[in-house]
Amino acid sequence: MKPEYNHYLILYLTPNPLFQDNDVLNLQWSNSKSLIPCLVQSLYDGVVPVRLHDFEKALTGLMNAERTAEWNILGKTATLWYYLTELFHQSLGPRKGGFAEELIVKWVEYYNNENVQKCKGFKAVKVDNDNKSNSLTLGKVLTQYGISSKSKRQIDFVFESEKLGRVDFVELRMSEHTGGRTAQQSLLDKHEELLEMLNKGLKERLLAKKINEMNLVIAILFNERHELIDPKNKNSYSPGRLNSLIKYIMQRNHIWGRVDDLKSRGYRFCNSEQINELTFQNMLTNSHSVCIVSGDGKFRVVFKILMGNQFFNEYMCKDFSGIQKDWLSMIADDVWLFYVLSINEMKIAKEFGKTSVRIIYELLSSEKNSTLNKFENLYKKGRAEKLSLTEYINQLNELANQCVNEVITYAKMKNVELKVLETNEVGALHEYLRQACLAAFAVYLAEKKLDEDKVFNKCRWSEREEA
């Protein structure tokens, strides 16, 4: 029976025109394209330049590991592995946040399109020349409403609905773990500023644009176990953390103080009752929502804490599970595949002098009609859009299968020993060689400069680094 191998989708090995119309793949690529060349180069060179100060080496004991005997390969690679893992996760952190925010904007725009489904008509407010719609500077957003503001504070999203006459200022947290007082302040300071701006012309400017409701929203999606929060199930989230956030909101120098100031200017609860501290806190605690209205009844402010599916239902009119089925059936494997390969290949290089990826690349490069040449032809064909994305992926994976057989043949012919995994299990070895072949294709793509956007000098561990 033919074994079932994984079918890899590697954007670094795929010409951009083939996936530019796929929003999810495009976002994956845009948020990882400067990281992948770093991993591919490490797979070729077998090293990552380690920069750890002596206090960090002392704390972790890595100072001792570096002094171990040559035959202690784990000791000799400990510093390298530690640094690669730390650097990788630090590099990935900001990219993960950007990917999630950009994807959420796509979902809001998609599900609020009348041609897709009946929702609430939300559109993402965008600023700057690059049409940015996430992590917005509050000052620039307010400028769009005719308010002069130099505020540098960033708000995650601003969603506006002409149908509802409403604008929502949304702060999103992926996890219920908010990180203490400093994180709570950063969560609320934009909302506090907006409440202050109501008496400085913001209310009138919004009403002039036929917006009669402003929602100040805190959204929390996942619990500490990384599960989507179910607000109806108190075992699904930490009531203590939620209560801590509400207590912070209720402090005089935070949200409650601004609401109390509005009370003195005629605002009341939307049920016409007078605003008071206890009722405000009870509403937030019990229903996670409070509505107040101006004295003339023309303008409402709603405070909301949305958890889990409440967020997706509010802005996309659909549960997260349904959105996943619609959008996440095709995702790329670049980041995990090259990272996991790097962890093992660093050890191979330390022990045997070269990575197996480099050995495979050199074996294939020495033959005129190897799969490297076939890959180059496939890539050029894909770039000319003579194939669909699915056809390209199928052919690329078939090339990886052919590559394994070639590598084994060439290695025997040239008496080259391949060290890949500490196992003799044939299926595992074959699969690892397939992955290493894909990495060798990536090295070839970068070395030959088949695509100027996919070369080693595009490597940026940090998105802030200069290319």
List of residues 6+ apart from 303 with CB closer than 8 A: 191, 215, 216, 249, 255, 284, 289, 290, 291
- Among 107-111, 356-360, 459-463, the minimum mean pLDDT is found in 459-463
Asked if 338 and 32 count as a contact pair (C-beta separation under 8 A), the reply is no
Whether 276 shows a pLDDT value over 90: the answer reads yes
Locate the domains of the chain by residue range: 11-97+332-458, 120-316
Asked if 459 and 34 count as a contact pair (C-beta separation under 8 A), the reply is yes
Rounded Cα gap, residues 231 and 221, in angstroms = 10
For 401-424, the pLDDT digits (tens) are 999 999 999 999 999 988 888 777
Asked if 194 and 141 count as a contact pair (C-beta separation under 8 A), the reply is no
Query: What is the residue whose two structure tokens read 């000098």?
Result: 457
- According to DSSP, the β-strands at 289-293 and 300-307 are antiparallel
For 21-79, the pLDDT digits (tens) are 999 999 999 999 999 999 999 999 999 888 888 888 898 888 888 888 777 888 888 88
Rounded Cα gap, residues 157 and 27, in angstroms = 17
Asked if 107 and 123 count as a contact pair (C-beta separation under 8 A), the reply is no
What is the largest distance, in Å, between two alpha-carbon atoms of the chain?
Answer: 88
Spatial CA neighbour of 439 closest among 7, 2, 13, 4: 13
Rounded Cα gap, residues 84 and 346, in angstroms = 10
Please state, rounded to an integer, the average pLDDT across all residues of the chain: 91
Rounded Cα gap, residues 273 and 239, in angstroms = 28
**Which secondary structure element, helix H or strand E, spans residue 358, and what is its range?**
helix 356-365
Radius of gyration of the chain (CA): 27
Q: How far is CA 133 from CA 140, 257, 311, in A?
A: 12, 30, 17
List of residues 6+ apart from 276 with CB closer than 8 A: none
Q: Is the dihedral of CA 299, 191, 92, 230 positive or negative?
A: negative
For 349-384, the pLDDT digits (tens) are 988 899 999 999 999 999 988 999 999 999 999 999
Query: Given this model, what pLDDT does residue 182 score?
Result: 64
Query: What is the residue whose two structure tokens read 């500077």?
Result: 137
Whether 177 shows a pLDDT value over 80: the answer reads no
Asked if 38 and 459 count as a contact pair (C-beta separation under 8 A), the reply is yes
Asked if 382 and 15 count as a contact pair (C-beta separation under 8 A), the reply is yes
Say how many C-beta atoms besides its own lie within 10 A of residue 239's C-beta: 10
How large a percentage of the chain has pLDDT more than 90? 69
List, edge to edge, every strand of the sheet that includes 122-124.
122-124, 157-161, 166-175, 213-222, 300-307, 289-293, 268-269
Asked if 93 and 122 count as a contact pair (C-beta separation under 8 A), the reply is no
Burial class of residue 367 (count of CB atoms within 10 Å of its CB; 0-12, 13-18, 19+): middle
The phi and psi torsions of 424 (rounded to 5 degrees) equal -105, 5
For 210-221, the pLDDT digits (tens) are 999 999 999 999
Query: Given this model, what pLDDT does residue 1 score?
Result: 33
Half-sphere exposure at residue 339, Cβ-oriented, CA atoms within 13 angstroms: 16
Query: Given this model, what pLDDT does residue 466 score?
Result: 39
Q: Which token pair is 174?
A: 């992926």
